[in-house]
Amino acid sequence: MTVFKNIFYISLLLGGLVNNACNGVGSGNTEKKDVNVSYSLLESPWEYAKGILDSIPEPLFKDADYNITDFGAINDGVTDCSKAINDAIKKCSEEGGGRVIVPEGTFLTGAVHLKNNVNLHISEKAELLFTKDKSKYLPAVHTRFEGMELMNYSPLIYAYKQKNIAITGKGVINGQGEVWWNWKGKWSGSVEHSYDAAGRNTQQSDIGVLYKMVEENVPLENRVFGEGHYLRPSFVQPYLCENVLIEGIKVIGSPMWIIHPVLSKNIIVRKLHIESLGPNNDGCDPECCENVLIEDCYFNTGDDCIAIKSGRNNDGRRIGVPSKNIYVRNCTMVEGHGGVVMGSEISGNISYVFAENCVMDSPNLERAIRIKSNSFRGGIVEHVYVRDIEVKQVKEAVLKINMYYSNEEGENLPIARNIVLERVNAYKSEYPVWIESYKQEPATNIILKNCDLKNIEKPNHIINAENIRFEDVKINGKVIKDL
């Protein structure tokens, strides 16, 4: 589609490092340099976004239903229905596909593995209740933990190298994630057993082992975790899949990341109601994915509401698959570390992210738009276009770009460039814009247009950024014109 190739080159003459505040004076690095900077923006970004929509096919399924009760499932919330559910999925796929029906009632299960041409349909008043017995998520499968490849506990709903799959309906999937949360170690949650004060039986030592394996490029088959280890699985994970629909369901109690497609293409996440306040309970994390639509969803999460990722450290660079063509619209973000976020696992790069018509509102939502990495993880984030966002209140900043996230240091300087926020209305935050990047790779071409930012407590905090542009932007009622 030609719209995907329509790049328009323009030049700006601006000062170098920018430090501005509500009154036009800011803090931070005050070094100045005059440069002619040529940078590329999409000539018609929202036409490009429309092209993303046009390129994502909606999965279609054969008109055939397979009720899990016909395969032995019992709706008492006690009987293990794992075999019945997976037998129904297998039969449905073998016969050309259709819907696997979870009818009214509560059905206890272990890992559910989707297959080609299957729509797992959670009926209204149905609950798919995932067991607390961790052995039911074995044997280990090819998955990721925080952007790093490994063999680990199966995600609760998992698909590997499958096409034309869906999870739909008006019912509930309940991960009973609390049973996994203490593996995080110390965190700020309110669950009494949130960590072992002595540091035993937590993920910390396993993460260190996995880090080392990634840095040494240990083959996947030798990165075996699972039983006897403490790395939590994601809730829903299509891995190396194509043409995926997740629609309508309510999702509660995730062990870790909630909707987590990896290395997948053509994904629709629509009309989900997600409530899960555990540690690292990101709402939707497309990782190394292309052509993703996230729309009409409600996020009340223990971490970022939406976090776009592309692999971590050597794994992200080795595999080298970026996340691109991500379109977010008509979503509501309540609690979380950020509304629409890129990072922190972005070693494989992210480009062409669009977000519009979203509402963000909670004293416990920390940032609206957030980009985060560091010089150990690296990665490029570019071409991010945001418009028509209502930020009722956030705790910290409307836009935050932090390239010193997590205080890791290395030789892979992260890059953020070509970020445009348009018609963003914010009613309460600590900062309007907060940016810290590297002097060697300053954040570049950050543009705000027609924004009205009210009840801002502190000046913009901008260190190591070039070519910041405000056009018709009000901060606490004062128009900020030239930076």
Q: Could you tell me if residue 263 is inside a domain? A: no
pLDDT, tens digit, for every residue of 169-220? Answer: 999 999 999 999 999 988 776 544 445 555 568 999 999 999 999 999 999 9
User: Of 208, 223, 241, which residue constitutes the final position of a domain?
Assistant: 241
Q: Could you tell me if residue 122 is inside a domain? A: yes
pTM: 0.91
Residues 132 and 1 in one domain: no
- As a whole number, mean pLDDT of residues 294-315 equals 98
Residues 156 and 113 in one domain: yes
* Domain count for the chain: 2
Average pLDDT over the chain reads 90
Residues 408 and 480 in one domain: yes
The answer, yes or no, to whether the previous bond of 139 is cis (omega within 30 of 0) is yes
Q: Could you tell me if residue 293 is inside a domain? A: no
Range of the domain at 121: 55-241
In the chain, the N- to C-terminal Cα span, in Å, equals: 37
Quick check: 343 and 307 in contact, CB under 8 A?
yes
Residues 327 and 435 in one domain: yes
Percent of the chain with pLDDT over 70: 89
Residues 38 and 59 in one domain: no
Residues 474 and 359 in one domain: yes
Residues 480 and 457 in one domain: yes
Residues 312 and 237 in one domain: no
User: Of 241, 265, 284, which residue constitutes the final position of a domain?
Assistant: 241
Residues 15 and 77 in one domain: no
Residue 14's pLDDT is what? 28
Task: Compute φ and ψ for 194, nearest 5 degrees.
Answer: -65, -20
User: Of 207, 222, 241, which residue constitutes the final position of a domain?
Assistant: 241
Residue 189's pLDDT is what? 63
Q: Could you tell me if residue 265 is inside a domain? A: no
Residues 102 and 207 in one domain: yes
Of 362, 312, 371, 316, nearest to 341 (Cα)? 371
Tell me which DSSP letter residue 232 carries. Answer: P
The number of angstroms, rounded, from the C-alpha of 279 to the middle of its chain's C-alpha atoms is: 14
Q: Could you tell me if residue 252 is inside a domain? A: no
Q: What is the CATH number of the domain that holds 210?
A: 2.160.20.10
Q: Could you tell me if residue 473 is inside a domain? A: yes
Q: Are strands 148-152 and 141-145 parallel, antiparallel or unpaired?
A: antiparallel
Residues 183 and 69 in one domain: yes
Residues 393 and 455 in one domain: yes
Q: Could you tell me if residue 251 is inside a domain? A: no
d(C-alpha 234, C-alpha 236), whole Å: 6
Q: Could you tell me if residue 9 is inside a domain? A: yes
Residue 59's pLDDT is what? 97
pLDDT, tens digit, for every residue of 117-168? Answer: 999 999 999 999 999 999 999 999 999 999 999 999 999 999 999 999 999 9
- Which segment of 4-13, 71-80, 81-90 scores lowest on mean pLDDT? 4-13
Q: Which residues of 189-220 are buried (b: 16+ CB within 10 A; e: fewer)?
A: beeeebbeeeeeebbeebbeebeebbeeeeee
Residue 343's pLDDT is what? 97
pLDDT, tens digit, for every residue of 291-301? Answer: 999 999 999 99
Q: How confident is the model at residue 25 (pLDDT cuts 50, 70, 90)?
A: very low
pLDDT, tens digit, for every residue of 72-81? Answer: 999 999 999 9
User: What stretch of H or E contains 172?
Assistant: strand 172-174
